[in-house]
Structure 1
Amino acid sequence: MQDSGPLVPLHYLGFGYAALVATGGIIGYNSVPYLAAGLFFGSLAGLGAYQLSQDPRNVWVFLATFGTLADIMGMRIYNSGKFMPAGLIVGASLLMVAKLGISVLNSPHP
């Protein structure tokens, strides 16, 4: 029996980020739009993590989700002057973009 090579592992960090975003929408439930936005962006981040698990070069959904969330939450910090909870999402988004960028730069290109 031949070894078919290493399988691409699940993108656990991406799924953790998706869970953080969705949980933030549920916990910070002030109104239906906040709940819907948290679940929507959490689902998009989960989809992006799944796509990365299938093909490490398929970064677009993940990148769009991070960029949009970092922008929205950055504006919330700027307007309110309060770091939490928006700052947590901005920090996690920036860390995920950095990790994703390092992964893409270190991955072999066909």
Structure 2
Amino acid sequence: MEYDWLGFGYAALVAAGGVVGYAKAGSVPSLAAGLLFGGLAGLGAYQQSKDPKNVWLSLVASGTLSAVMGMRFYNSRKPMPGIVAGASLLMVGRLGLQLMEKPLEP
């Protein structure tokens, strides 16, 4: 089994973003969202490691984060939402390419 190390690294970045948001601003919603979406991204990376065609959970998590954090970055110009939005957008592109190159037949 080949592990999706990029996916696990992305999940760690998202979770770390939530922890940084909590540490810097005391934001409990940032901590909760970071851990929730980091966990979902980690679970998606695990699922993709088991079955490379199973990209849907990772795609939904990274797509949602790219939109939400992109809006937060646009409104605040703070670095952490920009980093997470950029990484999420790259992850959406990566997963989209993987989805297009692998047939979805059972």
Deviation at 1:93, TM superposition (A): 0.8
Q: Which has the higher contact order (CA 8 A, sep 6+)?
A: 2
Which residue in the other structure is 1:68 paired with? 64
TM-score normalised according to structure 1 size: 0.85
Whether 1:37 and 2:38 are equivalent positions in the alignment is no
More helix per residue: 2
Residue 88 of structure 2 corresponds to residue 93 of structure 1: yes
Tell me whether 100-109 or 12-21 shows the greater mean CA deviation.
100-109
2: CA distance between counterparts of 1:78 and 1:109?
36
Distance 1:21 1:66 in 2: 10
Please give the secondary structure, in 1, of the residue aligned with 2:61: helix
Query: Helix, strand or coil for the counterpart of 1:10?
Result: coil
d(CA) in 2 for partners of 1:21, 1:42: 5
TM-score calculated relative to the size of structure 2: 0.88
After superposition, where does 1:49-68 map in structure 2 within 5 Å?
Answer: 49-68=45-64
The aligned counterpart of 1:21 is 14
Aligned-pair identity (%)? 59
| Aligned-partner Cα distance in 2 for 1:109–1:88 | 32
Runs (4+) of structure 1 exceeding 4 A deviation are none
- Measured after TM superposition, the shift of residue 75 of structure 1 is 1.2
- Quick check: 1:104 aligned with 2:103? no
Q: Which has the larger radius of gyration?
A: 1
Uncovered stretches (5+) of structure 2, i.e. residues with no partner? none
